[in-house]
């Protein structure tokens, strides 16, 4: 069974959090221009994360990393924020983590994680989202340009 991020440890800090989907295309230079094609549809994403741990959380994290993740060599599940909100992902550490002091009582732990696949909208979900955004735009337009001017007596 895949290990799960311990509930007694905080999720990654949002400040400094970033993710980078890996390129899924291949480019072949031609005499005139270039040919670009998709290599694969599932591609890994690398995420830079950091946590603030107190002393006991830091000790727990190091033991969990060593025993449960076999020094970070196996996958685990963790909730991570992406464009679609907080979602559960399979992740693993890329290399080792880095520890620095944050204050007298806290440690800052930073690392890079690899997740198997960003959760991406299907074509149907993309179409539905586009319709929702268009409806929101039309609603705001009506409020700003019709309802508000009528309410304050602007013609």
Domains in the chain, number: 2
Q: Is residue 73 located within the same domain as residue 59? A: yes
Tell me the sheet residues that pair with 101: 107
Nearest Cα to Cα of residue 37 among 45, 29, 27, 46: 27
Q: Is 75 exposed, middle or buried (0-12, 13-18, 19+ CB in 10 A)?
A: middle
Least confident of 64-78, 88-102, 104-118, 136-150: 136-150
Q: Is residue 104 located within the same domain as residue 132? A: no
pLDDT in the model for residue 128 = 64
Q: Is residue 18 located within the same domain as residue 94? A: yes
Q: Is residue 87 located within the same domain as residue 146? A: no
Average pLDDT over the chain, rounded to an integer: 80
Q: Is residue 113 located within the same domain as residue 146? A: no
Q: Is residue 98 located within the same domain as residue 49? A: yes
Q: Is residue 76 located within the same domain as residue 130? A: no
- State mean pLDDT over 21-44: 68
Q: What is the pTM of this model?
A: 0.66
Residue range(s) defining the domain that contains residue 128? 121-155
Q: Is residue 101 located within the same domain as residue 111? A: yes
């Amino acid at each position: 069974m895949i290990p799960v991020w311990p509930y007694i440890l905080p999720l990654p800090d949002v400040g400094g959090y970033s993710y980078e989907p890996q390129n899924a295309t291949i480019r072949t230079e031609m005499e005139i221009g270039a040919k670009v094609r998709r290599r694969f549809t599932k591609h890994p994403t690398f995420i830079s994360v950091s946590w603030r741990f107190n002393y006991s959380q830091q000790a727990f994290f190091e033991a969990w990393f060593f025993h449960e993740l076999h020094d970070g060599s196996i996958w685990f599940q963790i909730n991570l924020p992406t464009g679609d909100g907080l979602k559960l992902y399979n992740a693993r550490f890329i290399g080792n983590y880095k520890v620095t002091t944050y204050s007298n009582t806290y440690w800052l732990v930073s690392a890079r994680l690899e997740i198997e696949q960003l959760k991406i909208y299907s074509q149907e979900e993309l179409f539905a989202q586009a319709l929702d955004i268009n409806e929101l735009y039309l609603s705001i337009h009506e409020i700003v340009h019709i309802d508000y001017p009528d309410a304050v007596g602007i013609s």
